[in-house]
Amino acid sequence: MKLLVGADLHNNARGMNWFCELADAEAPDVVVFLGDFITFSPMSFARQAIRDLASLASKVVVVPGNCDPRDILLDLEKAEGIVSLHNRQLEIGGLRFAGKGGSIPCPSPTPFEEDDETFADSLSRVAEDTEILVLHQPAHGYRDAVSEGKHVGSQSLRKLVDRLKPRLVLSGHIHEARGIDRHRGTVFVNPGALLAMSAAVVLYGEDIEVSFRKDDA
C-alpha cells in the first residue's frame, strides 16, 4: 500500500497546490493528512483544503491539528470523500488505521488541546490491534524534538504506543522534526510541514519504506 502523508499546512495555498500535484505524480492508495489546515482561521481556507484533499485519492484520512478550531470536526464529518480518524479506527485494504487529532498543551494556548495525562485515553478505546496510528501530536521520544533539542511529545501516547506496538506511527506538529525513527519494530514518521513544502511517501508492505519529498523552489 502506498501512502502520501502531509501535515501542518497552516494556510499555505502554495503548499496545498504542491501537495495536489504530488498526489497526481505519486498516485497513492491512501492520502493521509495529519492536521493544522489553518492557524486558527479562516475556516473558509480549511474548507477549501478539505475539498482539495478529498479529490486526491480513493481513500483520504485526516485528523485535526492543535491550531484547527474544534468546529472543524463538523466539517470533516460532513465532507464527502474524506474520513476523519479522530478517535476512530478504520480498516483500509486489510490494514487497521486509528487516529487522534489535537495536541497536549503548547507554550501558547491553541484551540485543540488536551492534558497529557489523559490525552491517549480516547484513542486507547479504539486502537486495539491497529497497524497504523495517525496522529497530529507525536509520542514522547519519537520525532518530537524542537530546535533546541528538547523532546515535547506526549507521555501518555508513548505509553500507548509501547503497549500497542503498531508497525507505523505518523505524526506532525513539530515542524523541525521531519524524519524517521525505528524502535522495536515500529517506524515513526514525521513528513515535515506542508508550510515548508515537505511531505512523505510510505510504501507499506512486508517492509516499510519511507521517502521524503521537498519543493525547494
Q: What is the CATH number of the domain that holds 189?
A: 3.60.21.10
Q: What is the pTM of this model?
A: 0.98
**How many domains, the chain?**
1
Query: Tell me, what DSSP letter sits at residue 3?
Result: E
Supply the pLDDT for residue 95: 98
Q: Are strands 30-33 and 2-6 parallel, antiparallel or unpaired?
A: parallel
Name residues whose C-beta falls within 8 Å of residue 90's C-beta, 6 or more positions apart in sequence. 61, 83, 96, 97, 98
Cα→Cα distances 24→8, 53, 55, 207, Å: 20, 12, 10, 24
Neighbour-count burial of 48, counting CB atoms closer than 10 A to its CB (0-12 exposed, 13-18 middle, 19+ buried): middle
Task: Give me the amino acid identity at 95.
Answer: L
The residue written with cell numbers 495555498 in the block is 13
Q: Pseudo-torsion of CA 135, 139, 145, 151, nearest 10°?
A: 150
What separation, in Å, do the N-terminal and C-terminal C-alpha atoms of the chain show?
29
Supply the pLDDT for residue 217: 62
Low-confidence spans in the chain with pLDDT less than 70: 217
Contact 191, 168 (CB under 8 A): no
Supply the pLDDT for residue 93: 96
Q: Which of 90, 166, 73 is closest to 126 using CA atoms?
A: 90
Supply the pLDDT for residue 216: 77
Q: Residue 45: which domain range?
A: 2-214
Query: Tell me, what DSSP letter sits at residue 128?
Result: T
Supply the pLDDT for residue 10: 98
Residue 147's Cα: distance from chain center in Å?
A: 20
Q: Are strands 2-6 and 186-190 parallel, antiparallel or unpaired?
A: unpaired
Name residues whose C-beta falls within 8 Å of residue 94's C-beta, 6 or more positions apart in sequence. none
Beta-bridge partner residues of 133: 98, 169
Supply the pLDDT for residue 148: 87
